[in-house]
Structure 1
Amino acid sequence: MLKVNKIYSLKLLIPAAIIYGLLFVFPTVMSFFFSFTRWNLREWTWIGFDNFKMFFDDPSLLIGFKNTFIFAFVTTILKVIFGLLFAVFLTSKIKTKDFLRSAIFFPVLVSTIAVGIAFSVLMHPSEGLINEVLAFFGISGPNWLGNPTLALYSVALVDVWKGVGIATVIFIAGMMSIPKDYYEAIQIDGGNKFDAFKNITLPLSRPATNAVIILALIGGLRTFDLVWAMTGGGPGFSSDLIASIIYKQYQAGFYGLSTAGNVILFLLVALIVFPIFKMLTRKEVDI
Structure 2
Amino acid sequence: MDKKKIYSNWFLVPAMTIFIVMFLVPMVISLFFSLTVWNFRDYTFVGLDNFKMFLTEASLNIGIKNTLIYAILTCLLKVVLAFFIANFLTSKIKTKNILRSVIFFPNLVSTIAVGITFAALMHPSKGLLNATLGVLGIGPINWLGDPGLALYSVIGTDVWKGVGVATVIYIAGIQAIDRTYYEAAAIDGASKWQQLKAITFPLCRPAMNSIIILAFVGGMRSFDLIWSMTGGGPGFATDVVASIVYKQYGAGFYGLSTAGNVIMFIMIGVLAFPLQKFLLSKEVDG
Contact 2:36–2:45, Cα closer than 8 Å, also in 1 = yes
**Aligned-pair distance for 1:285?**
5.2
- 1:4-30 per-position Cα deviation (integer Å, ceiling 9, x unaligned): 4x6665444443433333332222222
RMSD: 2.0
Q: How does 1:76-155 map to 2 (within 5 A)?
A: 76-155=75-154
Residues 159 and 15 of structure 1: CA distance in aligned 2, closer, same or farther (over 3 Å): same
Moved more, 20-29 or 260-269: 20-29
Q: Which residue of 1 aligns with 2:188?
A: 189
Q: Which residue of 2 aligns with 1:40?
A: 39
Q: Which residue of 2 aligns with 1:213?
A: 212
* Percent of aligned pairs sharing the same letter: 60
Moved more, 145-154 or 204-213: 204-213
- 1:198-229 per-position Cα deviation (integer Å, ceiling 9, x unaligned): 10000111111111111111111221111111
**Aligned-pair distance for 1:96?**
2.1
Q: Which residue of 1 aligns with 2:164?
A: 165
Q: Distance in 1 between matches of 2:6 and 2:126?
A: 66
Contact 2:54–2:61, Cα closer than 8 Å, also in 1 = no
Q: Which residue of 2 aligns with 1:23?
A: 22
Q: Distance in 2 between matches of 1:236 and 1:81?
A: 31
Contact 1:249–1:258, Cα closer than 8 Å, also in 2 = yes
**Aligned-pair distance for 1:62?**
3.6
Moved more, 268-277 or 22-31: 22-31
Q: Which runs of 5+ in 2 are unaligned?
A: none
Contact 1:171–1:209, Cα closer than 8 Å, also in 2 = yes
Moved more, 72-81 or 274-283: 274-283
Residues 57 and 143 of structure 1: CA distance in aligned 2, closer, same or farther (over 3 Å): same
Q: Distance in 2 between matches of 1:107 and 1:21?
A: 36
Residues 2 and 102 of structure 1: CA distance in aligned 2, closer, same or farther (over 3 Å): farther
User: Partner letter of residue 224 of structure 1?
Assistant: F
Q: Distance in 2 between matches of 1:51 and 1:286?
A: 43
Q: Distance in 2 between matches of 1:71 and 1:199?
A: 31
Contact 1:204–1:285, Cα closer than 8 Å, also in 2 = no
Residues 117 and 286 of structure 1: CA distance in aligned 2, closer, same or farther (over 3 Å): same
Residues 100 and 10 of structure 1: CA distance in aligned 2, closer, same or farther (over 3 Å): farther
- 1:14-49 per-position Cα deviation (integer Å, ceiling 9, x unaligned): 434333333322222221121122222233333322
Residues 39 and 210 of structure 1: CA distance in aligned 2, closer, same or farther (over 3 Å): same
Q: Distance in 2 between matches of 1:122 and 1:224?
A: 20
**Aligned-pair distance for 1:103?**
1.7
User: Partner letter of residue 181 of structure 2?
Assistant: Y
Q: Distance in 2 between matches of 1:172 and 1:7?
A: 44
Q: Distance in 2 between matches of 1:8 and 1:85?
A: 51
For normalisation by structure 1, the TM-score amounts to 0.92
Contact 1:32–1:263, Cα closer than 8 Å, also in 2 = yes
Is 1:204 aligned to residue 194 of structure 2?
no
Residues 130 and 9 of structure 1: CA distance in aligned 2, closer, same or farther (over 3 Å): farther
User: Partner letter of residue 227 of structure 2?
Assistant: W
Q: Distance in 1 between matches of 2:6 and 2:94?
A: 52
Q: Which residue of 1 aligns with 2:178?
A: 179
Equivalent residue pairs, number: 286
Q: Which residue of 1 aligns with 2:72?
A: 73
Is 1:248 aligned to residue 247 of structure 2?
yes
Residues 49 and 286 of structure 1: CA distance in aligned 2, closer, same or farther (over 3 Å): closer
